[in-house]
Structure 1
């Protein structure tokens, strides 16, 4: 249920209604709007009385949330959410770009990548310290040493750091060095991990599972939001279909559809979504045209020597050109590219 407070409601009345919601055994999620405050009463409300909340002081009305995902729904928050981490922003008309290599391989590699993507216009650096691989014999990442190198790159450039966390035990460690915790496609329905990052103070980039429906995707985000972390970005990275000409199928219709269903920013990953470097620039531009709030792109100094995913990574010049094209398209669709100040 949504408890809509009157415009004239006092802070004491708002606090009182938060307490009433909690007395009913529900979680209270408070959204401060420009016009008024709303309180989402989330949980099993079968034993709760809508009337008991509607009669509270300062309450305008109580309405049900019809979507199965409550806090992520536009029914609760009609206005788009903007996520800001350092100088990185995404959502509410701003397009933020995260870029960098698939894996952290060395200090020279990650620091040079950070300087290059910053120069091209990115405001966040992506890089995997812990790498989930299909084969146990593939490169698994540099782990904590990789995290330290990411932190070094942030110190030199001011870029926000985006890196994947793979288990509940690693959340605190990864959060110590990074600004955005990435939940990979394989872990989209790892509910204990979702709850763990929901209890973190770091923003979360949640990737859609390769076989997940949109509703399952949003319900995964709901696990994070329900734990009290409002800073969630949804990442479409392609789904598995019968096609073989690309690594996955990148459904850009996801962008406007999600914007109708949720207030959360929508990020597109054209690197995993296509699996071919030559397709990444065009799909990046198309994503911005479709209304995406951000991009996460793999960029490597020498893709042919990359420890992982070199075939879908852009070179520095290719990324420069891609960013220039995206900036032109952003203007055409009334959006602005996030830039460093």
Structure 2
């Protein structure tokens, strides 16, 4: 349930409502949304809605019916648009290409990749991981602080926006100093302390769906960020685990289509992690683009065979070039424009 207060409502009204909910043993979360004060309670609470509606200072009471609330079209029907400047806009009929290697490995690697992306396609968003949450403790874990320094160099040299992953709360502030967009990975979707702290940031948050989570759980995770004060959340479908072992994951296009209907938040897809096989990644990316999504996360590497992480899914520069040419045509066909 979402209680919207009038713009001119007083602290006395807010205090009265908070005390009333406390007497009902109900937690009411105060949220500021576009300069309007909201009180958000669990959808499971079934109380005296008529009493709330007649209070001075209450603009409206919306019974949501779901535990995910702020991310829904029932709360806000209009699409959320996130504009980072320099033509990087999530929404408004644009599909933003975010490309780069899986992880930062060396200065030569990231600079070569950024130069290729920027000079050949004018791609404006560079993706690469400095902190890598790997499943195996023996796998390459990223360059950490040195990786962030190299991402800064990419940003300063080529004027690109940086998206990189935050693994836990201990290095969030350091990542936030460098990143224009912060990624919460599939393994961190249930790190609620991290989600809450991301809600206190100003940067957009790309929230990846956990590979074994339902749509409901995914959207509830988005609300964790939203209710802590950051309205700039971008949903990312990156594939779910299925019984099929020959692909890395299964890109859940059905859920992606449904999420566009359920939520006003921008939606991007990650064909690289879903497919896991470089030769087929462009086909999956093309299918994703046909959905009319707001962005793509694609991995490319100057020497895929020797990449230190996820080399099986990294596109060569030639493969990436061929893919972008087709993606541009598909985006145009579905009434969108590829930002690349």
* TM surpasses 0.5: yes
SS of the aligned residue for 2:126 comes to strand
Task: Tell whether the 8 Å contact from 1:183 to 1:206 is kept in structure 2 after alignment.
Answer: yes
Question: Equivalents in 2 of 1:297, 1:56: separation in Å?
Answer: 51
Greater Cα offset, 147-156 or 246-255? 246-255
Q: How far did 1:22 drift? A: 5.3
* Equivalent position of 2:24 in the other structure: none
- 1:139-218 → structure 2 map (5 Å cutoff): 139-218=140-219
Q: Does 1:12 align with 2:13?
A: no
Alignment-derived partner of residue 136 in structure 1: 137
Matched ranges for 1:77-92 at <5 A? 77-87=76-86, 88-92=88-92
**Deviation string for 1:134-165 (max 9, x for gaps)?**
22121111100000100110111121111111
Q: Give the structure 2 partner of residue 315 of structure 1.
A: 316
Alignment correspondent of 1:43:
41
Equivalent position of 1:27 in the other structure? 29
CA distance in 2 between counterparts of 1:305 and 1:17 reads 62
Shift of 1:39: 5.5
TM-score by length of 1: 0.89
Check conservation: 2:99, 2:299, Cα contact below 8 A: yes
The TM-score, its normalising length taken from structure 2, stands at 0.89
Task: Give distance in 2, aligned partners of 1:282 and 1:148.
Answer: 34
* Counterpart in the other structure of 1:67: 66
Which stretches in structure 1 are left out of the alignment for 5+ residues?
none
Structure 1 CA distance for aligned equivalents of residues 126 and 338 of structure 2: 16
Report the counterpart of residue 265 of structure 1 in structure 2: 266
| Structure 2 CA distance for aligned equivalents of residues 47 and 132 of structure 1 | 41
Seen in structure 2, the aligned counterparts of structure 1 residues 31 and 286 have a Cα distance that, compared at 3 Å, is same
What count of residue pairs does the alignment treat as equivalent? Answer: 331
- Tell me how large the CA RMSD over aligned residues is: 2.4
Matches within 5 A, 1:275-290: 275-290=276-291
